[in-house]
């Protein structure tokens, strides 16, 4: 399309855009509409948001469960289906062509209506999660696929009420969480959608369909696929996202906040689109204060260390963990397998999940663990087994998790890289390699759970004068807790009593210079971490 530019001739003979002359002579410029946020204590500035303080409920919670679930769960082929079904040769493209047909004829828009959620029972699921010791639950709000799981005001055609299950999925999850007395959160991954979905604008390079455009090229579906544009080199590059879409991004997520009143909003990246992203955080906090009698009870997660240095939000490590004890509460989010349900995936073992929970909590963190739901809204038998094992372990050892705080050190043994707690200043660590959209900037250690913890590994939590020492494997005869000796820089003071949680009898123990030595019962109690409850003077 050709355009005509109004110009004037400058003193040096160059063409000066007419709009430039208007600005130079003070001509009025069109005003961008204000970004509407709820009135309250916070404004959409970094300085204002530094006054935010993490609420006590989150500091005490320590464990939450998350459900990655939506139309991309229909094929049960794992993550990023809406993007990778348009990449010729990818396993998901191959599956799509074989199962549904070519994406020029049957695209993601046609997958969405096949998501029926026929066996979805949120009350049952949230009851299981509460028994497993979760103190909050997070529902998907919107993934990179641009599909909303609530009755979306700004995405009226592509939301779970309008099509697919024709149910307000996120609201149903919220209602169930409230019934169970759990805090409710939502996850939003929308910022990357504009570029992430751009594979739908392509076509096959070879074969019978070479050059035939995929269905994303049809302008009738631009509300799902976005207006056609030249894709960025990387799916998370948001530098070319138009201002109009940034504003719509804000309004959609503001609508999510206002309708669902979440206690937590998980953001899959750093705070994006500065004024719009900061406005969203400020709006959430101001609304939370209105809902809770002046107290800000909401949590906003960001993966940017720079976002969370002072106040503002809770730092999230995706599939990672802080090194040593982190100065402020942080969050580790990870999954038992893939994020979206994958029928062929190998899950983490129950021990890996429990080990990670203890490890995270010992470092001042909270674990958000994803159990992906099948297309119909149920957990598979292997997931149920993992959940039941966590439930049984929490029933015995949860007192050392919930409401706990870090001790002087996070732990001891060959798996500990950190040392003494230092809350004086953040010391950013090398970034974790990140494959998620948006090039996140989280520091810490990548934690795959591939190296098993043993009886030589110990993790600590505390409640006042009570110390919990989690021995991460079963000791054959005795456990030796070196940090609880009578000498050294970390001398804990006099031990008054020792209990082994889950054991009905008394255990023999002695506090010596080398550490606290606890004789184990003859019969093995658990294949998972055991907790010594130590009363200190």
Report the C-alpha gap between 446 and 432 in whole angstroms: 6
Find the angle CA(67)-CA(354)-CA(134) to the nearest 5 degrees: 45
Q: What is the DSSP string of 512-532?
A: ETTEEEEEPPSS---SS-EEE
Level-2 CATH architecture, domain 46-400? Alpha-Beta Barrel (3.20)
Contacts of 381 by beta carbon, 8 Å cutoff, 6+ apart: none
Rounded distance between C-alpha atoms, residue 355 and residue 459, angstroms: 10
Rounded to whole angstroms, the Cα distance separating 363 from 473 reads 19
Tokens encoding 99: 């199962």
Q: For residue 232, what pLDDT is reported? A: 86
Quick one: which of 371, 401, 348, 480 has its CA closest to 140? 371
Dig out the tokens for 54 from the structure.
């993490």
For the chain, residues with pLDDT lower than 70 are 1-32, 417-450, 488-492
At a CB cut-off of 8 Å and minimum separation 6, what does 228 contact?
201, 216, 217, 219, 222
Task: Give the tens place of pLDDT for each residue, 388-444.
Answer: 999 999 999 999 999 999 999 999 999 886 433 222 222 333 333 333 333 333 344
Q: Whole-angstrom Cα distance, residue 177 to residue 192?
A: 28
Contact 153, 142 (CB under 8 A): no
pLDDT score, position 256 = 98
Predicted local confidence at residue 536, as pLDDT: 93
* pLDDT value for 492: 64
CA nearest to 164, candidates 70, 77, 67: 70
pLDDT of residue 4: 32
Handedness of CA 421, 422, 426, 429 (dihedral sign): negative
**CATH-assigned architecture of domain 464-536:** Sandwich (2.60)
Q: What are the helix (H) ranges across 340-456?
A: 350-362, 381-397
pTM of the model: 0.89
- For the chain, give every domain's residue range: 46-400, 464-536
* Cα separation values, 374 from 156, 159, 224, 344, Å: 25, 19, 23, 12
Closest CA to 516 of 474, 478, 484: 484
Q: Residue 60: which region, alpha, beta or left (left: phi > 0; alpha: psi -120 to 50)?
A: alpha
Could you report the per-residue pLDDT of 198-220, keeping only the tens digit for each? 999 999 999 999 999 999 999 99
pLDDT at 13: 34
Mode of pairing for the β-strands spanning 183-188 and 466-471? unpaired
Sort 191 into a burial class: Cβ within 10 Å, 0-12 / 13-18 / 19+. Answer: buried
How do 183-188 and 136-142 pair as beta strands? parallel
Tally: H helices and E strands in the chain: 15, 20
Cα 333 versus chain centre, distance = 5
> For 513-528, what is each residue's pLDDT tens digit?
989 999 999 999 999 9
* Cβ-Cβ contacts under 8 Å for 243 (sequence gap 6 or more): 32
pLDDT score of 489: 52
């Amino acid at each position: 399309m050709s355009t005509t530019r109004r110009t004037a001739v400058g003193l040096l003979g160059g063409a000066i855009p007419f709009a430039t002359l208007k600005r130079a002579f003070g001509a009025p410029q069109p005003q961008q509409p204000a970004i509407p946020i709820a009135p309250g204590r916070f404004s959409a500035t970094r300085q204002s948001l530094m006054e935010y303080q993490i609420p006590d409920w989150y500091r005490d919670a320590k464990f939450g469960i998350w459900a990655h679930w939506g139309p991309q769960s229909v094929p049960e082929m794992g993550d990023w289906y809406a993007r990778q079904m348009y990449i010729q040769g990818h396993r998901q493209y191959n599956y799509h062509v074989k199962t549904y047909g070519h994406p020029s004829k049957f695209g993601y828009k046609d997958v969405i209506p096949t998501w029926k959620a026929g066996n979805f029972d949120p009350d049952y699921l949230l009851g299981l999660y509460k028994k497993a010791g979760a103190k909050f639950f997070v529902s998907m709000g919107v993934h990179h696929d641009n599909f909303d799981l609530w009755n979306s005001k700004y995405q009226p055609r592509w939301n779970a009420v309008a099509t697919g299950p024709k149910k307000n999925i996120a609201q149903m999850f919220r209602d169930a969480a409230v019934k169970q007395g759990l805090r409710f959160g939502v996850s939003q991954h929308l910022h990357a959608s504009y570029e992430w979905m751009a594979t739908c604008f392509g076509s096959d390079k070879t074969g019978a369909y070479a050059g035939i455009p995929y269905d994303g090229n049809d302008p009738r579906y631009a509300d799902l696929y976005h207006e056609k544009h030249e894709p960025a080199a990387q799916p998370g590059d948001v530098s070319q996202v138009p201002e109009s879409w940034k504003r719509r991004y804000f309004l959609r997520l503001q609508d999510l906040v206002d309708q669902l009143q979440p206690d937590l909003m998980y953001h899959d990246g750093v705070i994006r689109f500065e004024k719009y992203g900061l406005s969203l955080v400020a709006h959430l906090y101001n609304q939370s204060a209105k809902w809770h009698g002046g107290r800000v009870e909401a949590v906003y997660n960001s993966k940017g260390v720079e976002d969370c240095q002072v106040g503002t939000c809770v730092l999230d490590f995706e599939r990672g963990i802080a090194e040593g004890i982190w100065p402020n509460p942080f969050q580790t989010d990870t999954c038992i397998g893939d994020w979206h349900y994958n029928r062929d995936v190998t899950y983490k073992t129950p021990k890996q999940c429990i080990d990670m929970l203890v490890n995270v909590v010992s470092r001042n963190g909270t674990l958000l663990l994803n159990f992906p739901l099948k297309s119909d809204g149920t957990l598979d038998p292997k997931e149920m087994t993992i959940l039941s094992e966590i439930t049984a372990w929490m029933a015995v050892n949860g007192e050392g998790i919930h409401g706990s705080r870090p001790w002087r050190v996070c732990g001891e043994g060959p798996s500990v890289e950190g040392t003494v707690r230092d809350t004086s200043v953040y010391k950013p660590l090398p970034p974790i390699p990140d494959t998620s959209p948006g090039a996140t900037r989280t520091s810490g250690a990548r934690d795959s759970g591939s190296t098993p913890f043993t009886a030589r590994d110990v993790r600590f939590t505390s409640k006042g004068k009570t110390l919990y020492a989690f021995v991460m494997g079963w000791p054959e005869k005795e456990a030796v807790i070196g940090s609880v000796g009578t000498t050294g820089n970390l001398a804990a003071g006099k031990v008054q009593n020792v209990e082994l949680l889950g054991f009905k009898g008394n255990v023999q123990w002695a506090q010596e210079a080398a550490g606290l030595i606890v004789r184990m019962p003859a019969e093995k109690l658990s294949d998972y971490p055991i907790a010594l409850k130590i009363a200190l003077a």
